[in-house]
């Protein structure tokens, strides 16, 4: 039987999209595991207070950290250079997005290639 002669609705489902999705999910899971394992125990403890994951939907891998409250949000922001340094060791280009559900403001977002600016804020003075 020639499949190309069948109407679209009679064709078997396209599994390439499913395979791509599964591969992307595996990649995200492995990136998250490498990232977490590379973190210092203090950063691991901080992350354990948050919902966090790595997504590859955008053009670069993005670490999403969803903080439960403003106190944890502040602690994460204070540790962002260290966390970003770990992420940069795993992916050359990446982003970090920090959100707090209690906050009405936009999430804080930075690229890992911006780390020197945050590491040496006196350069901006």
Query: Does the pLDDT of residue 121 top 60, yes or no?
Result: no
Mean pLDDT on 44-72: 93
pLDDT confidence bin for 41, thresholds 50/70/90: very high
- Look at residue 56 and tell me whether its pLDDT is greater than 80: yes
What percent of the chain stands above pLDDT 70? Answer: 79
Query: Which strands form 51-55's sheet, in the order they lie side by side?
Result: 51-55, 62-66, 95-99, 108-111
What pLDDT was estimated at residue 20?
80
Domain boundaries, the chain: 47-125
User: The whole model's pTM is what?
Assistant: 0.79
């Amino acid at each position: 039987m020639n499949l190309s002669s069948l109407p679209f609705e009679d064709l078997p489902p396209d599994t390439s999209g499913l395979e791509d999705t599964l591969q992307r999910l595996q990649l995200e899971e492995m990136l998250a595991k490498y990232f977490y394992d590379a973190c210092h125990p203090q950063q691991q403890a901080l992350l354990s207070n948050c919902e966090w994951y790595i997504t590859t939907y955008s053009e670069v891998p993005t670490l999403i950290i969803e903080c439960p409250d403003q106190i944890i949000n502040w602690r994460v922001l204070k540790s962002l250079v260290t966390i970003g340094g770990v992420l940069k060791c795993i992916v050359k280009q990446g982003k970090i997005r920090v959100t707090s559900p209690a906050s009405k403001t936009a999430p804080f977002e930075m690229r890992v290639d911006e780390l020197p600016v945050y590491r040496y804020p006196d350069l901006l003075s």
